[in-house]
Structure 1
Amino acid sequence: MARSTLTRAEVLDAAALLVRQDGPGALTMRKLAAELGTAVTSIYWHVGNRESLLDALVERTVEEMGALAPSGRTPADRILSVARILRRELRERPHLIAMVHERGLTERMFLPAQQALVHEVHAAGLRGARAADAVRAIQFQTIGFLLVERNRERSPAQSPAENELWDPAAAPHDPALARAMARPADPERLFALSVRALVRSLLEPRG
């Protein structure tokens, strides 16, 4: 039995879930209607045709990416929190982010994160070109780390694997390093480590 009531937000929520799970190719009006337990005509009434629906999803994704709430006691802490939020949000919705990029809205999507970073580098005393460089360096580090992370996740099984390449016998000069390199990388820890080091360098006073 079809649902008697349905909201536009519910349609977008269900559509976004389908895209996040299987990509935009999996989103059809018939499948969306089935997921919502309603008629296809009801979907059209709320969001228009499929292209209008995709446009609405893109617009909502841009808005959601702008909902940044930095946290921390110091500018450096808050900058790290912005980077972490940005990485998390990008990781959680790769198909939707790709749709934003295809429509030429990537720069607009990243603007709120840039503005949040500008606020914090200003709070740390940076101005002008140095502040702009800091904002871009942090943004590039965050996005670049994510791209490497995804590439590693998607790559085929490696042979020899990293733990085989870093057998302690192959690095007798530093067996502790070899043991550490043989263990799986911890992306969360490495991300925080790299961003903290970058931020510390960018914010340190210059004579």
Structure 2
Amino acid sequence: MAPRQEVEEIRQNLTRRDLTSAAITLIERDGLGALTMRRLAAELDCAPMSLYTHVRNRDDLIDAIVDQLIELLDLHEPSGESWQEIVCQTFRAYRDLAVRVPKSFELLALAPYDTSPVAPHLARFVASLEAAGLTAEQAQQILGIADAYASGFLVVWARSQGFREAGEPSPAEDGITGLRDLAMFDQGLDALLAGLDATLVRGIRP
């Protein structure tokens, strides 16, 4: 088969999901900075222009990756759960995703709320909190605060894994590194929920 025909066959067989799966593999192996259209094409053994059949540009590729990362959260539809249980289930799945794909995780953690993959996901989360008895305002505030905590903690944790892989010193080697482990994340989430319940939901002020 002629080279042009081979490239055309590969282009026709590729899917958008093939691109995102290969991109996540590339990021996890070589880091986020390695993600270029040319490197991704080499990963898929196809011509760089073939990728533009499935994504408009690198930003569109990032959106597609974020969409796949949200799918990987594997969240079930809440049923009869309290709002605290919904938040715990969601953000512990978020934690597990950071463990599974630490280098790609940052793309989801830092994605703007109004991007097409993220907005429907957050709308479902807010709706589930409202169904559990919160007002729309309470649900949105809890989303913002819990997400800020979880994203900040887990991005730092994920980057610290990269330091260890590279053989570099951890950002803190002074005997308190346990403050950044995942057990502390769970403790912090429990404490955060208790504080949100007291202040935002029940209105108890210090």
Coarse TM-score class (shorter-chain normalised): 0.5 to 0.7
Check the 8 A contact 1:19/1:27 in 2, yes or no.
yes
Q: Call closer, same or farther: CA 1:134–1:26 in 2, change over 3 Å.
A: closer
Quote the residue 2:112 is aligned against: 106
Number of the residue aligned with 1:64 = 68
Does structure 2 retain, via aligned residues, the 8 Å contact 1:61–1:96?
A: no
Structure 2 counterpart of 1:206: 202
The CA distance in 2 between the partners of 1:113 and 1:74, in whole Å, is: 18
TM-score under structure 2 length normalisation: 0.63
Q: Which deviations, in whole Å up to 9, do the C-alpha atoms of 1:59-105 show, x marking residues without a partner? A: 2123224435246662222211111223344562645745995xxx5
Match of residue 7, structure 1, among 10, 14, 24: 14
C-alpha displacement of 1:30: 5.6
Segments of structure 1 that go 5 or more residues without pairing to the other structure are 163-180
Residue 156 of structure 1 is matched in structure 2 by: 169
Structure with bigger gyration radius: 1
Structure 1 stretch 134-143 or stretch 105-114: which is displaced more? Answer: 105-114
List 4+ stretches of structure 1 deviating above 6 A.
none
1:142 to 131, 150, 156: 150
Root mean square deviation of aligned Cα: 4.0
Partner of 1:127: 135
Report % sequence identity.
23
State how far apart, in whole Å, the 2-side matches of 1:197 and 1:108 are.
28
Contact 1:118–1:131 at 8 Å: present in 2 too? yes
Specify the SS of the correspondent of 1:47. Answer: helix
Could you say which residue in structure 2 is the equivalent of 1:167? none
| Deviation for aligned residue 1:34 | 4.3
Query: 1:191 pairs with 170, 185, 188, which one?
Result: 185
Measure how far apart 1:193 and its partner are: 2.0
Distance change (3 Å), C-alpha of 1:121 and 1:203: farther
Mapped to 2, the partners of 1:99 and 1:143 lie a distance apart of 9
> Do the aligned partners of 1:58 and 1:99 also contact (CA within 8 Å) in 2?
no
The equivalent position to 1:36 in structure 2, one of 41, 44, 50, is 44
- Please, which runs of 5 or more residues in structure 2 have no aligned partner? none
1:45 and 2:50 aligned: yes
Distance 1:55 1:189 in 2: 34
Q: Which amino acid aligns with 1:187?
A: D
1:58 Cα deviation (Å)?
Answer: 1.1
Aligned residues: 181
Structure 1 SS opposite 2:114: helix
Note closer, same or farther for the CA distance 1:149–1:35 as it changes in structure 2 (3 Å cut): closer
CA distance in 2 between partners of 1:100 and 1:157 (Å): 21
In 1, the alpha carbon distance for the partners of 2:39 and 2:150 equals 35
Alpha-carbon displacement from aligned partner over 1:163-193 (angstroms, at most 9, x marks no partner): xxxxxxxxxxxxxxxxxx7x94573322222
Verify the 8 A CA contact 1:124 1:203 in the aligned structure 2. Answer: no
Find the aligned partners of 1:160 and 1:96 in 2 and give their Cα distance: 24
Counterparts in 2 of 1:151 and 1:89: CA distance versus 1, 3 Å = closer
